[in-house]
A and B are shown apart, each in its own frame.
Chain A
Amino acid sequence: MTRADGAAPALPAGTLEARDVYRSFGGVTALAGCSLRVEPGTITGLIGPNGSGKTTLFNCITGFYQVDQGQVTFGGVPIQGRRPNEIVHMGVVRTFQVTRIFRGMSVLENMIVPLRQQTLKTLFRPAIGGHEQERAEHLLEFFGIVQLRTHLAGSLSFGQQKLLELASALMVGPKLVMLDEPAGGLNPIMIERMAGYIHELNQQGTTFCIVEHNMDLVMQFCDPVFVLHRGQTIASGPPSIIREDPLVLDAYLGD
């Protein structure tokens, strides 16, 4: 496997910390004082039954939702209240549970949309070409889809689209990548491939926070693991401990 040089983090490492986060929608309380801590260098898992608030927490961390109460910091700097694009430029990028790519663009163009930082100079640069294109193709090569670069993104297979979404997220040079169900809907072979890429990228220095329902995957790759239940963090720790935790077993079986 080639090294994904393009993905090398551009900023010094930082810890993501969400403390006592509350968020409700009308009458529905999605987050009721949950906490999450992602240390640099880890693949941190975030699990919990359906509707326990995992995606909502992702949205609160990455600026798509505002928190009602609580604190979110990255590298010690509060990030709540900032716009998603600002949070990206601080080094935190996310993917979506339902894969989102620019279907009408070519694969390569999908890789060029992301912005590492925003200056007026970068805005009016030619879209395709130069160092950035090299970086993009390097990443596509890493994910084994470089031969598709001129293809329409919408014409890719589901698995390839998921790879493209991750690849394009890496174009911003993130310190922390938050993946909402990276293996969701993938076939076993593709799951293994995806897990391999994440592991490899982590070895190269990228931190991950992963929401995943595939327990084998979580237990194999994530440490620590945080467990959400009804909007609260009910457990956290190494997978071997989490697996045995009665509260966790209860949460999964009790619903």
Chain B
Amino acid sequence: MTGAAALQRWWPWVPLLVLVLLPVGIRETFYLDLLMTTFMYAAITLGWDIMGGYAGYVSLGTVGFYGLGSYAGALLLLRFNIPVFVSAPFIGVLCSLVGAGLGWIALRTRAAAFVIVTLTFTSIVQLLALNLKGLTNGSSGLYMPLLTLPNNLILLPFYYYMLALLVFAYFVSRAIRGSKFGLGLIAIREEEEKAEGLGVDTSLYKILAFAISVFFACVAGALRAQYLNYVDPDIAFDLFITLSPIVMALVGGRGTLIGPLLGAFLVQPLSQYLVFLLPSSVAGQLHLVALGVVLLLVVLFMPDGIVNAYRSARAGGSGWRGRRQTAPPAEAAP
């Protein structure tokens, strides 16, 4: 292995090590909370990008799955006494099945139905959360017991769990990118009919990709509910959870491995900082406006996101359609 190849392979472990060790030095809740939220968004964005970036199908249903995860986590804890830390991965798998079902409805055609179905799904889940009062307590929400940990440590399990989710999302995304499946998804984004004409079962690919992509939002939702010790329809179905990952993916670069990470680590701290600066009475609305402005700027000046802009600047190529991270060229194969 050459030095460059080794660097390519091992560099992700460096920032990871830093993030793992960070809580030793940093104890301020503000920063740890910010980092944890960033991990959460990064994981959700990596997931969203499997569908929205690789396959090119934009989902507006992220918060539907996040909310589903939140309620599932809360209910499993309250009704069956299963700790969220235990149930979260299973909730994720369950949501993937729901995602597959939804995909089966919406993804067997090439129509724009997908966007609408994902949006409708979110509304339906939210309506259920609001109206199945016996189960969800309606708009009053559900209170969950606190973890029994000293106050100064209570953040840490969430910090590491979210970090683990992020690492998992990274490796899933990386594995897909390097596989025949991932190549098929990109083929769908570029020329769906052509892909079909070359033997690719495009429906299956899309359904599978969507099922995988919603896993992360679901797990994140479950964890977040326990972190806040509370869930209600407003919190669980915050539009931000749908919009932020899209903005983050666009900022960083859709359809790349690093783009979603970069986007989350840039946008989330920035937008938290904004909230911190503004009086709380207007922070909510301005926050949304700021996100919109960021999105507008990106679309105007860097439509392919940072990673793709950087790559095409280096390769003299043509944006995200033009140059992506690919498997090493043939010569590099052993």
Contact = CB atoms under 8 A, between A and B. Distances in A.
B197 A94 contact: yes
B193 interface: yes
Interface string B308-323: 0000000001101111
A19 interface: no
Interface in B281-329: 317-318, 320-324, 326-329
Interface string B176-210: 00111111101100110111111111101000000
Contacts of B17: none
Nearest to A132: B180
A149 B317 CA distance: 16
B contacts with A: majority SS: helix
B152 to A, nearest CB: 43
A43 B148 CA distance: 77
B333 interface: yes
A181 to B, nearest CB: 16
B330 interface: yes
Interface stretch (A111-119, A182-190, A236-244, A247-255): A111-119
Given A103-B321, A133-B333, A172-B199, A125 B179 contact: yes
B200 A85 contact: yes
Given A100-B191, A118-B199, A127-B183, 11 more contacts: A84-B193, A89-B199, A104-B322, A105-B186, A108-B329, A109-B326, A114-B199, A124-B181, A128-B328, A129-B327, A172-B199
A84 to B, nearest CB: 4
A122 B182 CA distance: 12
A103 B317 CA distance: 12
26 contacts: A64-B197, A83-B201, A85-B199, A85-B201, A88-B199, A102-B195, A104-B320, A105-B326, A108-B330, A109-B183, A114-B199, A114-B200, A115-B199, A115-B201, A116-B199, A117-B199, A118-B201, A125-B179, A126-B179, A127-B178, A127-B179, A129-B327, A152-B317, A154-B321, A171-B198, A172-B199
Contact of A123 (B181, B317, B320, B326): B181
Contact of B196 (A83, A103, A149): A83
A14 B110 CA distance: 31
B322 A128 contact: no
Contacts of A154: 318, 321-322
A214 to B, nearest CB: 23
A129 B202 CA distance: 23
Nearest to B184: A113
A127 B198 contact: no
B180 A125 contact: yes
Interface range on chain A: under 10, 10 to 19, 20 to 34, or 35 or more?
A: 35 or more
B144 to A, nearest CB: 37
Interface string A10-43: 0000000000000000000000000000000000
Interface of B: 175, 178-184, 186-187, 190-191, 193-202, 204, 317-318, 320-324, 326-331, 333
A104 B186 contact: yes
B183 A112 contact: yes
Interface string A70-110: 00000000000001110011000110100011111110110
A141 B157 CA distance: 56
B190 A104 contact: yes
Given A88-B197, A96-B194, A102-B190, A113 B202 contact: no
Contacts of A108: 329-330
A129 B333 contact: yes
The 5 closest A-B pairs by CB, nearest first: A88-B199, A115-B199, A114-B198, A100-B194, A128-B327
Interface string A115-150: 111100011111111000100010000000000011
